[in-house]
């Protein structure tokens, strides 16, 4: 860290410090790449770990889609991979539940929370607000390594004999609390809870750092109304994290006590094989309240960073200022606030008071307002823009599409009366995979395509990017659109097989279609995997500002060193969206260009500001 101040010193007394400086830059391999305190390295660690988990979580869905689409198929060929989980050419039913559970857990927490927020908050916050590093590089490093330990525990749980946690990613007790309920509620669940407790610590350390950095370490001139929307999104995401993850910790702690210490917070009057358990007086609904108090904000922890990334990319590649900058901030604040008071809409069928249900319904439907504001702002930014179709831009537009088509079904599900019919059917699965899963994952991919040059100094291949986009975009709609019909037909989620019920004999071919589409879409992600790792080493060299973007990270060297800028940190004189400003020489003016240098394009109020600069 001592390197941070070195550049400033060497500017005037260069020759004296030459040797000295050299010493400081020679970090060992471990300090530089493993236990690094540099936010850019930590971001890449989160990115690679996130991709690794995405591969695992994605493969799990391929396996259970095989079971759902082809219930009669002989899966003996998977035996080398799954071993005893394949019995007589059939997937073990308990393992099917484990696959579904782990797919959800991995995707929600490890890929779209750690992989998305961890990568881009770490990478972009210091670079875009103009800071040398995070407020505390040490805590930031701890945040990654706690995540790593948590990952290792979760990974180990995949290989134990009784199988990983299988009670669904929401781990409702008593199913998750009693090892007698299912084999996955034994050691697998213990590992799940330990892993998540450590994950929460990691997430809190990260969030505290992000908020502190954004509030305290902005460069001169970077006021809150000049922050890029990415930073606003990361900021609000971190606030949600600090407020909601501790509640999941409480929920998990009480569950740990129930499972291992004999308390009865969630368990009551349970008989197993005619034998009464000792537990008296617990309330399983209590767990659901605690869980969903995190669980619902978690949706926005996943989605907001993707929306922030999209705002930035759409504005840059439409060559237009973002439409409604302050409305965007306001709607994100609205979403943040509302996300804490709608959790019970996941619990309409728990027998809650119908009046309370209608209160939560009303609050839930209000979320449609800020969400619609965001969707309209994206579309109006694109409207009559001078659009550059980079792969990142395509993925951002794809996000807007998923956000709308998935969001509309949210209005349907938010109605208590309709939800009671559709609860726990594939309609819900289709809804959240579009609006939260696919949209956030597209935001993640858009971010990788857009900031890859800044991360690795090279470009991702565009042609492969286009192929990747179209296969994913069409594929995802082919998977999740038909799923709505299956849900309306009443197919419950998490069922191993539908062949034994006469009522569900109708949609067998549609399930097969979905499975084929899903596996094709997942295979298309391998194109991205190849592109990513190939381009790190062999990609085309990037220029300093390949997308002609305005934000501060593009003023740093192509591969920024530890400390980000050589010499002084740039000052900021304008908001980040001066694209195609009337009268300007070029179609973009970077944030560090003083108003006094652009008299030809200044607006009336900026002329006064320009005078003040001198």
Partner 1 sequence: MPTINVTTESGMNAKKFALWLFIVSIVMIFASLTSAFLVRRAEGNWIIYDLPSALWISSFIIVLSSASMHWAYVAAKKNNFPTAGKAIVVTLLLGLSFGYTQFMAWSELVDQKVFFAFANPGGSFFYVLTGLHAFHIITGLLYLLVTWYKVNNNKISSKNIIQVEMCATFWHFLGVLWLYLFVFLFMYH
> Which residues form the interface with partner 1 (CB under 8 A)?
1-2, 4, 37, 130-133, 135-139, 204, 207-209, 211-213, 215-223, 242-247, 249-251, 253-254, 257, 261-265, 278, 280-283, 286, 289-290, 293, 569
The least distance separating partner 1 from the CB of residue 296, rounded to whole angstroms, comes to: 14
Whether residue 431 has a cis bond before it, omega within 30° of 0: no
The 10 Å CB-count burial string (b at 16+, else e) for 305-333 is bbbbbbbbbbbbbbebbbbbbeebbebbe
Nearer to partner 1, 251 or 422 (CB): 251
Instruction: State which residue, 180 or 212, has the beta carbon closest to partner 1.
Output: 212
d(C-alpha 79, C-alpha 89), whole Å: 8
If we measure between CA atoms, which residue out of 207, 214, 237, 376 comes closest to residue 305? 237
Closest CA to 64 of 493, 593, 577: 493
Q: How far is the CB of 467 from partner 1 (least distance, A)?
A: 42
Query: 287 or 532, CB closer to partner 1?
Result: 287
* Pairwise CA distance, residues 311 & 293, whole Å: 28
Question: Can you tell me which residue has the tokens 């400086």?
Answer: 21
Are the beta carbons of 140 and 42 closer than 8 angstroms?
yes
Write down the H helix ranges in 423-576.
Answer: 426-432, 439-456, 462-488, 508-538
Return d(Cα 319, Cα 382) in angstroms, integer. 9
Do residues 4 and 562 touch, judged by C-beta distance below 8 A?
Answer: yes
- Do residues 266 and 255 lie in contact, with contact meaning Cβ atoms separated by under 8 Å? yes
Backbone CA torsion sign across 205, 210, 215, 216: positive
Which one, 40 or 103, has the nearer CB to partner 1? 40
Our CB check for partner 1 shows the closer of 75 and 247 to be 247
In the numeric block, which tokens belong to residue 488?
Answer: 């309306």
Provide, rounded to whole angstroms, the least separation between the CB of residue 440 and partner 1: 24
Least Cα distance to 237 among 201, 210, 258 occurs for: 210
Q: Which is nearer to partner 1, 208 or 429 (CB)?
A: 208
The dihedral built from the CA positions of residue 367, 373, 376 and 381, taken in this order, carries a sign that is negative
Q: Give the span between the Cα atoms of 568 and 220, in whole angstroms.
A: 11
CB of 100: closest distance to partner 1 in angstroms?
A: 27
Place of tokens 């986009």: 469
* Residue entry with tokens 């770490």: 122
Provide φ and ψ at 278, rounded to 5°.
Answer: -70, -15
Closest approach of partner 1 to the CB of residue 284, in Å: 11
Q: How far is the CB of 141 from partner 1 (least distance, A)?
A: 9
Cβ at position 261, least distance to partner 1 in Å: 5
In the complex, what is the shortest distance from the CB of residue 167 to partner 1, in angstroms, rounded to a whole number? 20
Q: By C-beta, is 317 or 555 nearer to partner 1?
A: 555
Q: Using the minimum distance from each CB to partner 1, give the nearer residue, 276 or 417.
A: 276
Peptide bond into 458 cis (omega under 30): no
What dihedral angle (degrees, nearest 10) is formed by the CA atoms of 581, 582, 583, 589? Answer: 0
Distance CA 145, CA 341 (A): 32
Closest distance of CB 351 from partner 1, Å:
12
Nearest-approach distance from CB 173 to partner 1, in angstroms:
13
And the tokens for 450? 């857009």
CA-to-CA distance for 188 and 154, rounded, in angstroms? 9
Neighbours of 591 (CB within 10 A): 26
For partner 1, the closer of residues 176 and 317 by Cβ is 176
Q: Minimal distance in Å, beta carbon 502 to partner 1?
A: 40
Name the residue nearer to partner 1 (CB basis): 139 or 170.
139
Nearer to partner 1, 220 or 349 (CB): 220
Q: Closest separation between CB of residue 424 and partner 1, Å?
A: 23
Query: CA 268 to CA 178: how far, in whole Å?
Result: 12
**CB nearer to partner 1: pick between 525 and 592:** 592
CB of 360 to partner 1, least distance (A): 15
Q: Which is nearer to partner 1, 63 or 124 (CB)?
A: 124
């Amino acid at each position: 860290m001592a390197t941070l101040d070195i550049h400033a010193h060497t500017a005037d007394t260069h020759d004296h410090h030459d040797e000295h400086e050299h010493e400081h830059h020679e970090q060992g391999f471990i300090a530089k790449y493993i236990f690094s305190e540099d936010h850019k390295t930590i971001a890449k660690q989160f990115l690679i770990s996130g991709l690794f988990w995405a591969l695992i979580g994605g493969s799990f869905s391929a396996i259970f889609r095989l079971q759902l689409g082809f219930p009669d198929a002989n899966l003996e060929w998977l035996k080398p991979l799954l071993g005893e989980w394949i019995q007589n050419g059939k997937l073990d039913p308990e393992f099917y539940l484990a696959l579904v559970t782990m797919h959800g857990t991995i995707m929600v927490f490890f890929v779209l929370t750690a992989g998305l927020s961890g990568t881009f908050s770490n990478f972009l916050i210091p670079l875009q607000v103009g800071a040398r590093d995070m407020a505390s590089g040490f805590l930031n490093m701890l945040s990654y390594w706690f995540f790593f330990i948590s990952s290792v525990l979760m990974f180990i749980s995949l290989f134990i004999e009784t199988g990983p946690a299988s009670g669904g990613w929401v781990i409702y007790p008593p199913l998750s609390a009693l090892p007698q309920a299912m084999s996955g509620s034994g050691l697998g669940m213990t590992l799940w809870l330990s892993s998540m407790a450590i994950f929460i610590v990691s997430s809190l350390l990260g969030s505290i750092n992000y908020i502190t950095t954004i509030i305290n370490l902005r460069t001169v001139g970077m006021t809150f109304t000049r922050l890029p929307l990415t930073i606003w999104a990361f900021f609000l995401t971190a606030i949600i994290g600090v407020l909601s993850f501790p509640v999941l910790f409480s929920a998990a702690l009480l569950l740990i006590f129930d499972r291992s210490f004999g308390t009865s917070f969630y368990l009551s009057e349970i008989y197993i094989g005619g034998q009464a358990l000792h537990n008296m007086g617990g309330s399983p609904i209590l767990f659901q309240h605690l869980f969903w108090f995190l669980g619902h904000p978690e949706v926005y922890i996943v989605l907001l960073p993707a929306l922030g990334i999209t705002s930035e990319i759409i504005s840059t590649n439409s060559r237009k200022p973002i439409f409604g900058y302050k409305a965007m901030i306001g709607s994100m604040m609205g979403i943040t606030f509302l996300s804490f008071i709608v959790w019970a809409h996941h619990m309409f069928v728990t027998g809650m008071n119908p009046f309370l249900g209608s209160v939560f319904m009303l609050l839930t439907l209000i979320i449609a307002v800020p969400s619609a504001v965001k969707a309209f702002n994206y579309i109006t930014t694109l409207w009559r823009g001078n659009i550059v179709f980079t792969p990142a831009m395509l993925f951002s537009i794809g996000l807007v599409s998923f956000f709308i088509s998935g969001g509309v079904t949210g209005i349907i599900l938010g109605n208590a009366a309709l939800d009671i019919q559709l609860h726990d059917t594939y309609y819900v699965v289709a809804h959240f995979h579009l609006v939260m899963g696919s949209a956030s994952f597209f935001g993640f991919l858009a971010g990788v395509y857009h900031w890859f040059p800044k991360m690795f100094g090279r470009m991702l291949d565009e042609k492969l990017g286009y192929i990747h986009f179209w296969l994913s975009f069409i594929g995802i709609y082919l998977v999740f659109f038909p799923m709505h019909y299956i849900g309306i037909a009443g197919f419950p989620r998490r069922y191993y097989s539908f062949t034994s019920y006469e009522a569900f004999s109708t949609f067998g071919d549609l399930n097969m279609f979905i499975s084929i589409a899903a596996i094709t879409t997942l295979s298309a992600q391998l194109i991205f995997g190849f592109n990513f790792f190939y381009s790190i080493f062999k990609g085309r060299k990037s220029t300093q500002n390949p997308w002609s973007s305005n934000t501060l990270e593009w003023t740093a060297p192509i591969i920024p060193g530890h400390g980000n800028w050589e010499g002084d940190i740039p000052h900021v004189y304008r908001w980040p969206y001066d694209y195609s400003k009337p009268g300007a020489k070029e179609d973009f003016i970077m944030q560090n260009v003083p108003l006094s240098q652009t008299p030809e394009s200044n607006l009336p109020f900026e002329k006064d500001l320009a005078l003040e600069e001198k």
